[in-house]
Structure 1
Amino acid sequence: MTLTTKALTKIYEDLHQIPELGLQEHETQAYLLNVIKRLPQTNLKIKTVETATLVLVAGSVAKKTIGWRTDIDALPVTEKTGLPFASKHPGMMHACGHDLHMTVALGLLAYFAEHQPKNNLFFLFQPAEENASGGKRLYDSGALDDWLPDEIYGLHINPQLPAGAIGCRQGTLFAGTCEIHARFHGKSGHAAYPHLANDMVVAGAYFVSQLQTIVSRNVNPIEAGVVTLGQFHAGTIGNVISGEAKIDGTIRALTQKMNRHIQRRVQTIAEGVALAFNCEVELKLNQGGYYPVENNPITTKALIDFMQQEPGVNFIETEPAMTGEDFGYLISKINGTMFWLGVDQPYQLHSEKLAPNEAAIEKGVAAITAYFKQRDQTLA
C-alpha cells in the first residue's frame, strides 16, 4: 500500500516521540518493522542485524540492485520544541532529523512494495550514525554482502533550504571527520619549584599553538581543512604544577587524502612536543567510518540531471559542508550519492528546538520515488 500524506505524518510524529541513542534503537526498530510488515510482502525480504533493519524489494527481471540508506538513531539532547508530539524519552531527541529520514524511507519503500521494480531495491535502516560509525560497522561485518547494492543513495535534512527542496553537488557534500584525543604525562610539583617538575600545562599549550599552524601552513590554501580543539583539562589549583594535560578536538576535511594529511601532521606535532618537553604522549586519532561524503560523479550526475528537469522539484546546487556523516564510508565502498532535503527551519541541526517543516516529507517521497522509477528503467 502506498502511504498517504496523513499516514506519513503520523509515522513521523510517532518516531519523533521515541528517540534512542546509537545501538539502543530497539523501540525504533520494532516500530519500523511493524510498518514494514503491514506492506505488501510478495516481493519483500526482511532481515535484522542488531538494531539494523534490511529490506530487499525483489525486482521482476533484476540485473542490478539500487540501494537506499536511512539512519535511525537520535542525540543526547533535551528537547525544547514545545511540540505536542515531543520526545517521550528524557534527555534524548531527534535533533538531527533522522525521524524524518526514516519517514521518507518508509514512504519510498511502501511505493515499491506495491509497484514491483524491474531491478532489486535494497533499503538499509542503519543504527548508530551519530556515535559509532554504524555504516562501517555493518559493511565490515559482512551483513550487507548478500544484498550489496550496485549503487546507493541517502539524504539529510537541511534547515536552510525551502521545505521539500533537493540540494546536491558534484564532489564532496560533507566533510570527513576525525577525533583528536591527546594525553600528555609529565611530573607534578610545587609552583615554587618548577625546575623539579615537568609542567604539562606548558606542553599542552604548545601543542595547541602548533596545531593552529596546520591549516595555515600545511594545507593548500585552495583546499579546505579545519582543526578545532574544544577541550583542554589540566591541573587542580593555581599553586600546583600539573603533571597531566588532556586535550580533545576534531579534524574536518573535504577529501580523505586531506584528512589523512592533517592526521599525520597532528601525530608529528604531538611526538615533537613530547620530545621537546621530555614527556610522554598518548595520541588517539579516531576517524572510524566518518569519511568525507565524496559523491560519485556518475550517480550524482544522474540524480542532478533528473531533479533539475523533474516538474515540481525545487533543485538547488549547494556548497560543501563541514558537518560529518558516516554515509561517507559506505560510498567509499559503493558508488553513491547523498543529497539534502530542505525543511525550512530557523534552528540548526542538533538544536534542541529543531522542528522540521513536515511538508518536506511528501515532497521528498515524491521526488525520490520519481527518480528511482526512472533510474530503475535506465539502469542496465
Structure 2
Amino acid sequence: MRHDELIELRREIHRHPELAGGERRTAALVADVLREAGLDVRTGVGGHGVVAILDAGDGPAIGYRADMDAVAVPGGAAAHLCGHEVHTAIGLGVARALAREQTSSRAVFFFQPAEEACEGARAMIDDGALDAVLPREVYALHCAPLPTGTFAVAPGFGHPGQDIFRIEGLSHEEARRFESLVAGLSTVTPPTSRDELERLVEDMQILDGPLASFVYAQVHREDDAVQGWVRAWPDSRYEEIRSLLHSQAGPCVRFIERLPTMINSPEHALACARHLNATVLHASYPFNGEDFALFLERVPGAMFFFGVGEQGLPHAPDFAVDECAIDLGVDAMTGFLRTRREQPSWSSNA
C-alpha cells in the first residue's frame, strides 16, 4: 500500500473507534483489504477476529498479530489512545507487501478484537484461529512514546499477568481497611510525565535492576466488598499476595481469574533486536497486561515496542501518533518477517 493509503486507512479507523467486543466496522474494513490483496480470509473468529492466510507454497508459516479495539474514555465512549489503529494499519501494510512477493513461504495474520479486555486472544484461539495454519513463530508490535521508528524488545521478559479478586461480606470499616491494604501493595506507579517515562525506560534496561521484582495493584471499594487486580513480576509474587489476602480475609476472598504472563522468547526477541537494531530491555513493563501471552503459550515469538513519537503517554488524552511511523513500521516488519520465514529452523537460527 502507498503511504497515503496507509495514512488514510489509519485515520478511517481512528475516526470510528470501537470498544472491545464491538469491532464490527474495523473488522469488515480489515477483511476487505486482505481479500483485495489475495489472502484467504476468515471472519468472525472469536467474535470479530479476522484470520488471513498467505498461502504461497509449502513449509512452515510465520505469524503476525495486530489488535483492533479502542479504549474506553469517560462517559463510556471509545477513542484510539493506545495505537491499536496503527497496529492494524501496519499489519495490513505488511500483509499486502508480502502478498506481492513471489516466494514459496507462508504467513498467517491475526487481527484480534478485545485486547483491552484481555479476552480476544483466548476467544480467537478457542475458535480455531491456530487450527488451519499453526505458525512456526509469531510476532506483534505495540506503539510506544519513543522516537519515531525505533524499536525496543525484552528477551525473556514482556508484560506481567494479572490476578483478579473480590473480597465480600465485609463491614464498611473492613472494606476500607482492605482497600488500603491492596493499594499499599504497589511498588511502582505509572509514569505521568516525559521525565518519569524516560527514567522507567532506563530502569528497564538494567539487568536485575529496580524492576526485577514489582507489584502494581488497583482496587475499588463498595459498601461491603472490594474488588481489584494485581500485576506482578516474577510470577512467584502472585502466590505471596494470594497468601497475604487469604491470611487477612480468609474465606471472604475469591480469586476470579488469572491472566497469563507474557514472556518473549529470548531467541526470537534477540533475532528482532539484531535485525531492527532494537534497544534490549531487561525487565517487563509493569502497567499493561497483554493477552498476546496466549499466542506465545502456543507458539514461540515476541512482541516489540515501536516508537510512534514522543507526544503524550498511552491511554492519556494527549497521546498522539507521528504518522510517518506507519511506513517505517511496515518496512521494518516486512523485512523482519521475510528474514524469519527464510530461516530453516527457528531453534537453531533464531
| Equivalent position of 1:26 in the other structure | 24
Q: Partner residue of 2:205?
A: none
Match of 1:271 among 246, 249, 258: 246
Is 1:292 aligned to 2:289, yes or no? no
Structure 1 residue 94: Cα displacement: 1.0
Unpaired segments ≥5 residues, structure 1: 80-89, 187-198, 235-243, 309-314
Deviations 1:267-303 (A, max 9, x none): 433333345xxxx614234224xx2221112212222
Q: Is the 8 A contact 1:225 1:251 kept in 2?
A: no
1:317 aligned to which of 280, 304, 312: 280
User: How far is the alpha carbon of 1:111 from its aligned partner?
Assistant: 0.6
Describe the shift of the 1:33–1:274 C-alpha distance in structure 2 as closer, same or farther (beyond 3 A). closer
Please list the CA deviations of residues 112-162 of structure 1 after superposition, one character each: whole Å capped at 9, or x if unmatched. 111143321000001110114211222233332111211100000001x11
Q: Cα gap change, 1:94/1:117 in structure 2, threshold over 3 Å: closer, same or farther?
A: farther
Aligned partner of 2:161 in structure 1 is 176
TM-score (normalised: structure 1): 0.77
Question: Which residue among 35, 40, 53 is the counterpart of 1:37?
Answer: 35
- 1:288-367 paired onto structure 2 within 5 Å: 288=259, 291-308=260-277, 315-318=278-281, 319-322=283-286, 323-367=288-332
- The alpha-carbon deviation at position 266 of structure 1 amounts to 3.8
Shift, 1:316, TM fit: 2.4
Query: Which secondary structure does the structure 1 equivalent of 2:95 belong to?
Result: helix
Q: What is the letter of the counterpart of residue 331 of structure 2? A: A
Aligned to 1:192: none
One-letter amino acid of the structure 1 residue matched with residue 330 of structure 2: V
Give SS of 1:321's match: coil
**What amino acid maps onto 2:65 in structure 1?**
R
In the alignment, the residues of structure 2 paired with residue 298 and residue 68 of structure 1 have an alpha-carbon distance, to the nearest angstrom, of 17
The one-letter code sitting in structure 1 at the alignment partner of 2:230 is I
SS at match of 1:171: coil
SS of 2:77's partner is: coil
Q: Secondary structure at the match of 1:287?
A: strand
Aligned residue identity for 1:254: W
The correspondence of residues 208-287 of structure 1 with structure 2, limited to 5 A, is 208-209=180-181, 212=184, 223-234=212-223, 244=224, 246-255=225-234, 257-258=235-236, 261-262=237-238, 264-274=239-249, 281-287=252-258
Counterpart-to-counterpart distance in 2, 1:6 and 1:182: 52
Within 5 Å, which residues of 2 pair with 1:113-192?
Answer: 113-159=99-145, 161-183=146-168, 185-186=169-170
Q: Over aligned residue pairs, what C-alpha RMSD do you find?
A: 2.6
Measured in 1, the distance between the counterparts of 2:186 and 2:81 equals 32
> In structure 2, do the counterparts of structure 1 residues 285 and 267 end up closer, same or farther at CA, with 3 Å as the change threshold?
farther
Measured in 2, the distance between the counterparts of 1:132 and 1:297 equals 23
Larger radius of gyration: 1
Match of 2:49 in 1: 52
Superimposed CA distance per residue, residues 7-36 of structure 1 (whole angstroms, 9 cap, x where no aligned partner):
110101011011111121101111112222
The answer on whether the counterparts of 1:227 and 1:249 sit within 8 Å (CA) in structure 2 is no
How many positions carry a matched residue from both structures?
321
Tell me: CA distance 1:346–1:208, structure 2 relative to 1, closer, same or farther (3 Å).
same
2:57 maps to 1:72: no
8 Å CA contact retained: 1:58, 1:117: no
**Structure 2: 5+ residue stretches without partners:** 189-209, 346-350
> Percent identity of the aligned residues?
26
Verify the 8 A CA contact 1:207 1:270 in the aligned structure 2.
no
User: Structure 1 residues 133, 346: closer, same or farther in 2, change over 3 A?
Assistant: same
Change (3 A) 1:214 1:69: closer
Q: 1:347 to 1:273 in 2, by over 3 A?
A: same
Task: Give the C-alpha shift of residue 203 in structure 1.
Answer: 6.1
| Cα deviation, residue 228, structure 1 | 1.9
